Structure 1
Amino acid sequence: MRIKSNLIDSMTIFRCSLLVIFAILSNPIFSQITAPTATYSSVTQYASSPQDDIFVFCDNIGAGVGELKAVSNDGTSGWTFTWTKWDSGTGTFAIPIPSVDTSTESILTNLPDGLYKVEATNGVNSFNDQAWVLNRLASSQQPNFSLSRRDCAGIFFNSSFGVIQLKYQDITTKDEILLPATYVFELTREGLSVQRTPLIDYDGSVKSFFDGEAFEGKKNYVLTVTDECGRDYVSSMISSETYVVKAEFTVKPKAGEAPLEVEFTNESVNADDFEWFIYQDFDRIADAANVEDSLLVDGIITDEGPIAYTYLHPGNYFVKLIASSENVDGTCIDEFNFKAEGTPIVVDTSLVQVPNVFTPNGDGRNDIFRVKSQSLKSFSGTIINRWGRVVFSWKNPDEGWNGKINGKWATPGTYFYVITATGREEQKKKYTKKGSFMLIRK
């Protein structure tokens, strides 16, 4: 019984497949109208289906430049094409349209706005299709552009543009339908883009634009509107200054060992008054400490550019600058915190590291027995041979032993060192290091 059931199912599927193939071969061939030269396309929003294609063409001379094409898609010749245009008064395709035809395709050119229909047949098969042509004309106007206000946040502008609204009709209800249009509004200062805003389905209303950058003096602004054809419409120019203040400075160097002298360069924009806050090591500032107790210096520095400051102790330090400027509407203020913008000023902790071997052979590598150190307040080093005799001593950690005793090369072998040092930490950090190292001469 199972085998018989499977056989019946297989025959059923085979018969259904034959019916599908027969239906495909016996149905008329359908095609659609194309518009290779259209700028863009859309689809109608009729109240009921089916919907039609909409082809939009950029018409710069107002003469109607739409082009439609219908092509046989079965690869045969002998087709005839008949074009008509929809008459909104009668609600029928009653207006004949001449076309340029071959046996496989048909083309309409220089079409004004309207809904066009093609009917094609080769005596055996036939198809029909329809599509809208809409010509987007160039505008003769400039964008409306005006300065709205200025304040500490920036400069505010208003702009609008007269929309050329494309429209078509619902072929059933005769209602007029507007085709959404996208315009791109771009505010530029001295030719540089400040704000670029695509406005989808723009209706011609007033839109706001904003520049919040700080600069000195007056700058020139224009507002450019670009339509969907890529045509630019440029406003008249507006020159304006801004009240926006930008506090900013750089430091050099950002890190190093103590004592570290750091130079501050004030790069603030559009500011007249300055307050510098040079803070203590961040880890030493108590949560409840007031500003004065958190500073490294006595009070707030009000110079435009403070002199270089020398950090005597290791730590992580940050500096804040408050810049301000008076204007007719009040005082504009901005703040720049060096720590908040990135790594704070880092003064290295003290360090003493002694090598365990050196090779004074004149090859330029490891020829000096030198202690690696940083942020030291005091240093003393002594080297002793195996018989307890002092062969070298020094006070500058940047110096070291070159492997000679009284101008002659020392004997290779084991030597001993005694290093004492004091770090520059505020809470004194002392080092006493004793050990041995090998002098090797190859």
Structure 2
Amino acid sequence: QTVCAADGAFPLPSLTNGVYYSGPNGTGDLLVGTIPVSNTPQTVYIFAAGTLAGCSSESSFTVTFISVEADELSDVEECTRYFLPEIAVGNVYYTGPGQTGTQLVAGQAVEESQTIYVSQGTPSSCYDETSFEVVINNCGIQKGISPNGDGLNDFFDLTAFDVRTLSIYNRYGKKVYSRGNYSNEWVGQSSGGDELPDGTYYFVIEFNNIEAKTGWIYINRER
């Protein structure tokens, strides 16, 4: 007998003849009612003593409990897309509950806000399912910074993006700033730490998971 651990103890069927034991030939523990959940298979013996000395019969079966547990992932929020991470063997992504909708695979990009379901097993047998929310904000890249210490737009904020490298160029095409694994460190300074003059600059943002973006950004310290 193979049963789901999540269903709890295995109920022993009623017998018309014989008694349940944990050992052969009427040895071990007398089993009554149920077999508790266990990580190891348990052999159950049905022993029936005859009316004559030495005359008896016995049969047995094994109860194996199967545990299934779907991975639990935290809700996520991204600007453009979210790449599904690797999950444990036997776990599967779906866009609908109960293994409905579209099956997804690790590494696949989710580009719209939705609920993603992680399942293990099959709904008709041993089954477990979890879910998490993916929120895609379609964040824009700001057009200016005003690094004057007022707490508003003081830095070029790319923390919502997975940035590999940020490069800043002046209007003459000279690179004036560059940083790897960038998040929000640029406040209008050069790579050497000098304050850059107000004006329009151009950026190249290289991401870890999407195509690079280019554009412009304005420094205005008076605002």
Higher strand share: 1
When normalised by structure 1's length, the TM-score is 0.28
Of structures 1 and 2, the one scoring higher in RCO (CA 8 A, sep 6+) is: 2
Which of 1 and 2 has greater Rg?
Answer: 1
